[in-house]
Structure 1
Amino acid sequence: MRFITASSTIETLALFAGALAFADGMTLVAEGTWFELPTFVWALAGGVIIRNVLTMVFSFEMFDRSIDVFGNASLILFLAMALLSLKLWQLTDLAGPVLVILIVQTIIMIIYVYLITFKVMGKDYDAAVLSAGHCGFGMGATPTAIANMQAVTDRYLPRRKPS
C-alpha cells in the first residue's frame, strides 16, 4: 500500500494549482464573450486536460488516493463556505413554499432518476454512481452532484475498469 508522502502531496497540490491557473486564465479570456462559464467549470476542465495530457503524453503516474484526499478536503471546504454565506433568517417568510417545492422536486427527481437515468445508463454500478450525481445536480448544483458521487464511491469503492 502506497502512503501519502510529502512528494505526492506536492505533486497533487501542483496539479490542483495547474487546474486553478487554467480556470483563472480561461475565465479572463472568456469574460464578456458568448462562452462565459463559471470558474469552477473551467477548473474541472483544466483538471481533465492536465490529467489526460500527463498520463497519455508523458506517461506520468498519478497517485489517485492523494488526489481523492485533497479533492474531498477541497469539496468539504467549498460546501462549508457556501453554507456559511447563506442568510437563512432572511427566508423565514418563504419557508412553507420552499419546503413544498423541495418535496415536489425530490419526488420528481427520484422518479426520473429511477425510471430514466438508471435504466438508460445500463443498470449497473456506473449507472448508480451517475444516478447519484444526477440527483445532486437535479437538487441543486454541480458540487452537490460531485459530493453524491463521492459518497457512493466511498461507500462501495470506485470501480476499476480493465485497461
Structure 2
Amino acid sequence: MRSTLVLIMLIGLALGYQPSTNRRNLLQQALVGVFVASSSPAEAVISSKYCSAGVGEGCGDLSEGNELIRSLQEKSAMNRERYQQEALDAYYMKNYPDFFSVVGKTLVKKTDGTFVALADSEVEKLKQDGKVTFEIPRTKGGKLVDVTQKPNLVFKE
C-alpha cells in the first residue's frame, strides 16, 4: 500500500511539473493525488456492515423490515455450521484422496465426521468385514447430491 502511494505521488509530481511551477503548487498536486488514491472503493467495502449466512451486524439493514428475508436469514444462521462442515468435508474429499492414494492410503470418514487415512490393505479388510460402506456425498443439508465429489468410504456405526 505504501509503495503504491509513493508511486502515485511520484507520477503526480512528474505530471504536474513545469519549469515555472513553484514548490507549493507541486506539493499541493502530490497531496491531492495521494488523497484520491487512498480513498478507494475497496476501503468503503471493508467498512460496510457484514452479513453472511444470516449472521452479522448488517443483516437487519439488508432485510429492510421484510419478514420473509428476516426468516430466511434466521434459517441460514441455524444451518450455518452444518453448511460450513459440508464445505470442509467437500474440500477434503476433492483435494486429499489423490494425495493419499500415491502413498497407498485411503481416506475413511469416521462417525464423528473426522477423517482417517488407512492403508489400502486395511481398507480392503474393513470392506470384507462390512465395517465400512460407500456414501454418496450430499450438500445443502442432505437435500442435493454433490456430483462434484466421488463416493467416499464411511465407517458403519
Q: What TM-score do you get using the length of structure 1 for normalisation? A: 0.24
Q: What TM-score do you get using the length of structure 2 for normalisation? A: 0.25
Structure with the higher helix share, 1 or 2: 1
